[in-house]
Structure 1
Amino acid sequence: MIMGKVVSGKKYEYFEYLTAILISAGMTMFLLGSTEDKGSAGATTFSGVIILVGYMTFDAFTSNWQGELFQVYKMSSIQMMCGVNLFSCLLTSVSLLQQGAFGASFNFMLTHPNFMIDCVILSICSASGQLFIFYTIACFGPVVFIIIMTIRQGLAILLSCMIYSHPITIIGMMGITIVFLAIFLRIYCNHRLKQIKQRRATAEVGKV
């Protein structure tokens, strides 16, 4: 949401800030509460914090910038995916050539045909997922997309804990409860806001 204000100058309702804070706090509680052995976990280093902050910053910028491109240039999901993947291939190829690993990677692919098949399958799955991602950003905005991805990660961790019998503390359960309550609160507030706007529009038409 902060990146949305910086990139697009968007204005958010107060309940959107509240739900964003609740979701962030709930996910933090859930992740800390689902750690099996906190004593064996490695200490967080300063470089790790920088990498994490960098990832969050660039990830937030990417979705907001894509949303801005959708609104300004009226791009389709296919056009966005083509542009993003084209430059991804170019940047990856330049990196491989600079490191002298392009030939070795190409030879490895020719030597192991199964690897090529696996890459094709992964590429098809990734392309299908990108279509849904870009469609969500174009129709509902980057904030909704980030919420969906956050919930997906939380459900993946919860499912992992259930399948592999990882313990979840009371704090973790409280965290996941806060996340879902925040989502329902956001849905309810959005619904109420739309009703209020419709009533105002109807009243203005009646006055005219």
Structure 2
Amino acid sequence: MFLFRYPKTSAWDIMLGMNLWGTVYNLIYMFCWPQGIGYEAIRFCKQHPEAAWDIFLYCLCGAVGQNFIFLTISRFGSLANTTITTTRKFVSIVVSSLLSGNPLSSKQWGCVVMVFSGLSYQIYLKWRKLQRMQRKRKPM
């Protein structure tokens, strides 16, 4: 009965809704708010079309990235997405630190260890749960 009243919402429906509402709120804030700078931003982009092109490419990359996030969550779950995102951020920080010559402090390394310990433990618990479920399915 509820399936007919509330059909399953796809990832793209959710993204469309989120992005439309985000656009409405941002437009109101940029053009209707007393301190809004929407008109200045448009004027700047008219004077510097290369900036407008960079903004467009940035938005396009964000949209593609958002698709990958939603697809990862729908196919592999939120834990896998969290692990991928955290690992990507960690690698980005380490590479940035190595390239810029700014080493991480002991406190920062401690935080890295805590985050990855927690994620590793969650992965281990999920793996153990899957192992138990597979044992229950197999007849002896």
What is the TM-score with the length of structure 1 in the denominator? 0.53
Alignment partner of 1:167: what SS? Answer: coil
> Residue 129 of structure 1 aligns with which residue?
65
**Amino acid corresponding to residue 90 of structure 1 in structure 2:** V
- Across the aligned residues of Structure 1 and Structure 2, the Cα RMSD in angstroms comes to 2.7
Alignment of 1:95 with 2:24, yes or no, is no
| Counterpart selection for 2:14 from 80, 84, 89 | 80
Judging changes above 3 Å, is the alpha-carbon distance between structure 1 residues 110 and 170 closer, same or farther for their aligned structure 2 residues?
A: closer
- For 1:84-163, list aligned pairs within 5 A: 84-97=18-31, 98-99=33-34, 100-163=36-99
**Is 1:77–1:134's contact at 8 Å kept on the other side of the alignment?**
yes
Structure 1, gaps ≥5 residues long: 1-71
Distance (Å, rounded) in 2 between the aligned partners of 1:171 and 1:155: 17
Contact 1:80-1:134 at 8 Å conserved across structures: no
Match in the other structure for 1:202 = 138
Q: Which runs of 5+ in 2 are unaligned?
A: 1-5
Identity rate of aligned residues, in percent?
27
In the TM superposition, residue 133 of structure 1 has moved relative to its aligned partner by: 1.2
Number of equivalences: 133
After superposition, residues 145-184 of structure 1 pair within 5 angstroms as 145-170=81-106, 172-173=108-109, 175-184=111-120
Question: Residue 177 of structure 1: CA displacement?
Answer: 4.4
Q: Matches of 1:126 and 1:113 in 2, distance apart?
A: 20
Deviations along 1:124-167, whole A, 9 cap, x unmatched? Answer: 11111000111223233434433433333222221122112223
Give the drift of 1:110: 1.9
* Deviation digits for residues 14-62 of structure 1 (CA, Å, limit 9, x no counterpart): xxxxxxxxxxxxxxxxxxxxxxxxxxxxxxxxxxxxxxxxxxxxxxxxx
Compared with structure 1, are the counterparts of its residues 96 and 178 closer, same or farther at alpha carbon in structure 2 (3 Å cutoff)? closer
Give, in whole Å, the separation in 1 of the partners of 2:27 and 2:112: 41
Q: 1:116 to 1:168 in 2, by over 3 A?
A: closer
- TM superposition shift of 1:199: 1.7
Identify if the C-alpha distance between structure 1 residues 137 and 73 changes in structure 2 by more than 3 Å, giving closer, same or farther: farther
Q: Taking structure 1 as reference, are residues 86 and 166 closer, same or farther at Cα in structure 2, changes over 3 Å only?
A: same
Cα shift at 1:121: 0.8
Higher relative CO (Cα under 8 Å, sequence separation at least 6) belongs to: 1
**2:138 partner SS:** helix
